Amino acid sequence: MSFHLVLFLAFGAVCVGGAVNLLAQRHPINSALSLIAVMAALAGEYLLLGAEFVAAVQVIVYAGAIMVLFVFVIMLLNAGEEEETKGSRVAVLLGVPGVLTGSVLIAWVVVRHSGTEAVAIGALPGHPTEIAQLLFHDFLLPFEVTSILILIAIMGAVVLASKPEATARKVD
């Protein structure tokens, strides 16, 4: 077993373990921290694939920026432990068989297509220069359209958050 495979399995185990822990934990802050572990382990998997830039961005954007906001909201709301419920019968009857079927289906597809050759490290674009070439040259229009989409989302969030009339009425 190569060192590469060992690392892949280790990061994969952290990833899956973190995801399971995310569901099992009853305190929201522990769940959020598990999600950070999942994101960081995913960054490790990207590194193993030779995608250094994507790995760094994964850490900066997901593990850093977005999850900080999650943690921030949990801290501000001071959300406590959730109460344990018995769970719905529908989930047991439909959910568990559904998950099992889905997993079997995915496993079947993976096994069936395992004959395809593995891609060598560095064979796909991963260097910052190549990604820049793709983003700002080959896919310039979709990239710019995405940025406008995000701008619209930001403006929408600002409009929803400000509500000047509503606040004024509350003061009265």
Q: Which residues bind other proteins (CB under 8 A)?
A: 29, 33, 36, 52-53, 55-57, 59-60, 63-65, 68-69, 71-72, 74-76, 127-128
First to last CA, the chain: 72
Distance CA(156)–CA(69), nearest Å, equals: 18
d(CA 100, CA 24): 18
CB of 128 to other proteins, least distance (A): 6
Decide: 11 and 48 in contact? Cβ < 8 Å. yes
Q: Which is nearer to other proteins, 103 or 133 (CB)?
A: 133
Which of 107/132 has CB closer to other proteins?
Answer: 132
- Residue closer to other proteins by CB (options 76, 118) is 76
Closer residue to other proteins (CB): 104 or 130? 130
Q: Write down the least CB distance from residue 35 to other proteins, Å.
A: 12
Question: Residues 39, 68: contact at Cβ < 8 Å?
Answer: no
